[in-house]
Structure 1
Amino acid sequence: MEEEFEFGFTEDPKFSVERYEEMIRNHDQYFFDAQAFENIIDYYIEKNDPPKALQVAEYARNQHPFAAVFLIKQAQLLVVGNKVPEAFAALEKAAMLEASDADIYIIRGNLYESMERFSEALENYEKALELAEETDEILLHIAYVYQNMGDYDTAVSYLKLCLKQNMENQDALYELAFCYDVMDNQQESVQFYQQYIDNEPYSYAAWYNLGNAYTKLSLFEKAIDAYDYAILIKDSFASAYFNKGNALVNLEKYAEAIEVYRHTFEYEQPNADTYCAIGECYEKLEQMDDARAFYKKSVKMDPKLADAWFGIGVTLDFEERYFEALHFYKKALDLDIANADYWFAIADAEYKLGHMTEAEQAYEKVVELNPLDIDAWLDYSSILYEQQRLVGAIEIISQAIKNNPEAAELYYRMVAYLFAKGEFNEALNQLEMALTSDPEKHYILFDYLPQLQSNKVIVDIINRYTK
């Protein structure tokens, strides 16, 4: 006959685990009290061994058939193993034994949430709220459900409730920032984090999110102050250094930004994005060798980072190495085919290499992807103008004006092309429109056709608008 031993919860959890493993090895039957079983299950969960934990839960259920806790543990582990029907069944049995255990409804809510059955998820979370002692995590889950339903206002109110209960809940702080971002309501975001900081001045996450809100409002000086406080409270906060670097870039303080980006390397492994950002700063400072070195580090770390390949191209372009630049622009384009900036750079490099057909095709792509890019329309039309294709140039500028009716420079360019084609009356009409739009930019006309400076009719019309 098998010998039965009983092990209680007074012993060290490690001792319970050793005893349990001994029992399995010996194909024996020891008795453990409920707490000891819980300790053993938790040990295997911490060891990231769900199958073993599940096996223990099964043993525990046999020895303690009326303890709902083991059915709940079993359900949690079945969820991890993606065994949804079995998890629901275990919860059903647990509810029959102890309907007042909040965990039953939390896990069931999680399951419904993952299945996008949102009303059932909310029903279970609401039930859990009534039963649980600590509710901040449940409130956070309810907020997630409302986010998934696209109801960000309600999500925000639950996140605020969550933070009211637990000011330390970092997830809620970040989720709140996300919701305000989606709602494009940075003003309210700033107000919330300022109030929060009045109560919790040492919350680095709140300072960080305040910095992000200021960044989105283009208040970069204020953003930098907020990031500095976040860094002061937690000096190893790499994300705060990185975002502070981005804010400095927006203020065109590139040398300072480089220093701040480099700080992130003290607290986390260098990554491709940071290398790329440093490369961009050196590029803006026109230190092209340094820029290229960092862009190369970036692509070595992440060959799929299109911006870094593009950056290498920009540094070569700057050195008038257009043929080499094209190679890297095209590598960037392969990774991000709909990027208008990449097409623009390719168009420009092809033009500088004298490849007019390729340049024209690339410009066509730029204006298709970004019809609001006035420079692209101007460059595209001027390629045709240089080839004496005046009808084509005028056509392109007409399309450009349709897409950008406010852009005075397009009208001035149209005037130049019409004069070149000999359509003087239409040219004068367009000149009146250009001058009505922005009289200060009339120099564009003379840049393009200097001989018009001696044309009395034109000079008189311009004087009417500029004096």
Structure 2
Amino acid sequence: MQHRGETAPRYQKQSRMKRKLTHLPEEEPEDLIRRYEAFLSQKTEAGYFDVYEMEQIVDYYLRWGRTRESSVALEFGFRLHPGSPVLLVQRAKIFLASGQAQKALQLLESSVIRFEYDVLLLKINVLSALERHSEARALAEELLADQSLETDTTCLDLAYLYLSNYDIENAMYFLQLGEKANPKNTDILFELAFCYDTREDNEASIAIYEKILKIDPYSAETWFNLGQVYFLIPDYTKAIMAYEYALVIRPDDSLTYLQKAHSHFQLQQYREAIDDYEVYASMVPDTWQIWLFIGECYERLEQFAEAIQYYSKSLKMHSDNYEALTGIAICLMEQDKFDDSIAFSRRAIEINPDAADGWVYLAEGLVGLDRPEEALQAYIKSIRLDPNQPETYMAIANICMDKGEYNLALEYYRQALALNDESDLQNIHLFMAVAYYKTGRREEAFFALDKAMEESLDALKVFREICPESDF
């Protein structure tokens, strides 16, 4: 089957995963929000919220991107505290969040608002949004020159500001300044590592995480993040070691078990992967995708009955589960149960007719039943959906060879070679040598056979068995 050359699970997403954070957003004022929303639901202004409570309420809605609710809260706050400078600052935040940076700046520059630390940070943010970067940087430098402030904390706040605007370069500038001021500030180090992760500078990221571990060797988040970087390099053995340290510290972390299982899969350590996937499945409510992972592990171990069992568990949870249907189809095909395999492939195609691999699995089942014409149509449908399939071009060529259509077979073999290094296409030069010989192109047949003999010592013997009349 074509999937045999893969090393990654068919269903595993390969992407840069988000880090875990050791610093979390400040605790949400849940009781305050509940009390405020209860007043609103009663359509009354009964009760009292002081100005700082109203500030928290507006900030809460802004953090969750609920600009309309933050505006309602602000107007309610002004009815309780008319002209409050604190709430004027909140109005500037709302202006900024709603894309009205110029209005935010005008408000911040009014004589009513005092230039305190948080207000200066907000003004830097507004200036950056207006692309007045030199003014923003100058104001940031003013903050750093203030001897009453802790340099590393100020640098971290400035970095957060730039990170919120996806300005990695400026964020790194202030983080590096902060690290110089206090090399043991792990919040700064985490943010630096995040910046290096974003830039895909894995070596620098590893160095930062190792610094954090020297400061706090019992940080499960750091071990997990280090494992993530090794996973991406990829160095799966080191990734597993890092995940294992994380699990010693925090044995109830489901995501670490999942990533450890993925790493074992990549190393073709399928039984170890199954063990970790099973632990993960016991810790989370939604398991249908994990059954897919375990099914594929058993498939790779050629334990097809067990693989079908897990694919079926996933299918039971999601009846329109394309991946489970194709997994079952493959396992049935491996057991030469071609009729049953075709039935599952057709169900998968009904769910996702634009998935090229489903048509390939259908074609392979039809080949197994010696129905080459139907198989050929399924293969052709597949390459129309995804032309980048050298193995499928080769499968089409092989059918053409069986039909005696040697020139057409050569056309498909050449397309396969154009898409992939010939070392990945077993016996392609041998088959091409046969096709050239059958079409009377002896010189080209000789050169193709010469290449085939470089790849396999048996190539000449097989060629003579297929073409006994040749004098090669």
TM-score over 0.5 (shorter chain): yes
Measured against aligned partners, the alpha-carbon deviations of 1:31-88 in whole angstroms (never above 9, x if no partner) come to 98xxx331355368769974663344213441xx2x4211223444677xx7554x86
Tell me the CA shift for residue 387 of structure 1: 1.3
What do the CA deviations read for 1:174-194 (whole angstroms, capped 9, x no partner)? 73364143xxx4344334433
Pick one of 367, 373, 382 that aligns with 2:398: 382
Q: From 120, 138, 155, give the equivalent of 2:158.
A: 138
Question: CA 1:255–1:131 in structure 2 vs 1: closer, same or farther (change >3 Å)?
Answer: same
1:258 corresponds to: 274
1:462 matched residue in structure 2: none
Deviation at 1:386, TM superposition (A): 0.9
2:327 maps to what in 1?
311
Whether the aligned pair in 1 keeps the contact of 2:89 and 2:113 (CA below 8 Å) is: no
Partner Cα distance (1:232, 1:399) in 2: 52
Q: Give the number of equivalent residue pairs.
A: 418
Deviation larger for 286-295 or 203-212: 286-295
**C-alpha separation between the residues in 1 aligned to 2:327 and 2:177?**
46
What amino acid is aligned across from residue 179 of structure 1 in structure 2?
Answer: T
**Post-superposition shift, 1:348?**
1.3
Give me the TM-score of the superposition, normalised by structure 2.
0.71
Q: Does the aligned pair in 2 maintain the 1:304–1:335 contact within 8 Å? A: yes
Q: Residues 197 and 27 from structure 1, CA distance in 2 versus in 1: closer, same or farther, beyond 3 angstroms?
A: closer
CA change 1:327–1:140 in 2 (3 A) is farther
Shift of 1:395: 1.8
Question: How far, CA to CA, are the matches of 2:303 and 2:221 in structure 1?
Answer: 35
Give 1:242's match in structure 2, choosing from 226, 251, 258. Answer: 258
CA drift of 1:91 comes to 6.0
The structure with higher relative contact order (CA 8 Å, sep 6+) is 2
**Which residue of structure 2 aligns with residue 59 of structure 1?**
79
Residue of structure 2 in register with 1:39 after alignment? 53
| Alpha-carbon contact 2:224-2:243 (below 8 Å) kept | yes
Q: State the Cα deviation string for residues 91-136 of structure 1 (Å, max 9, x = none).
A: 63344223524444655676798xxx57358965874674485442
Deviations 1:141-193 (A, max 9, x none): 4245456xxxx666655666677684136973773364143xxx434433443
Q: 1:98 aligns with which of 83, 96, 113?
A: 113
The alpha-carbon distance between structure 1 residues 448 and 145, as it changes in their structure 2 partners (threshold 3 A), is farther
Query: Equivalences for 1:202-221 in 2 at 5 Å?
Result: 202-221=218-237
Deviation at 1:249, TM superposition (A): 0.9
List alignment gaps of at least 5 residues for structure 2: 1-30
> Quick check: 1:168 aligned with 2:187?
yes
**Unmatched tracts of structure 1, length 5 or more:** 1-12, 459-467
**Identity fraction in percent:** 23
TM-score for both structures, normalised by structure 1:
0.72
Shift of 1:327: 4.6
Q: Which has the larger radius of gyration?
A: 1
1:396-439 CA-to-partner distances (Å, cap 9, x unmatched) read 1233333446548322221122233443333113223444xxx1
Partner of 2:294: 278
| Aligned equivalent of 1:392 | 408
SS of equivalent to 1:119: coil
Q: Which residue of 1 aligns with 2:447?
A: 429
Residue range with higher mean Cα deviation, 155-164 or 414-423: 155-164
Alignment RMSD (CA, Å): 4.3
CA contact (8 A) 1:204 1:229 kept: yes
Q: 1:233 to 1:112 in 2, by over 3 A?
A: farther
1:52-91 to structure 2, matched below 5 A, reads 53-62=73-82, 65=83, 67-76=84-93, 83-85=98-100, 89=103
Once the two structures are superposed, residues 227-260 of structure 1 have per-residue CA deviations (whole angstroms, 9 ceiling, x without a partner) of 1112222222222111110111122221211111
Q: Pick the structure with more helix per residue.
A: 1
1:273–1:326: structure 2 CA closer, same or farther, 3 Å change rule? Answer: same
Q: Which residue of 1 aligns with 2:131?
A: 119
Q: CA deviation at 1:340?
A: 4.7
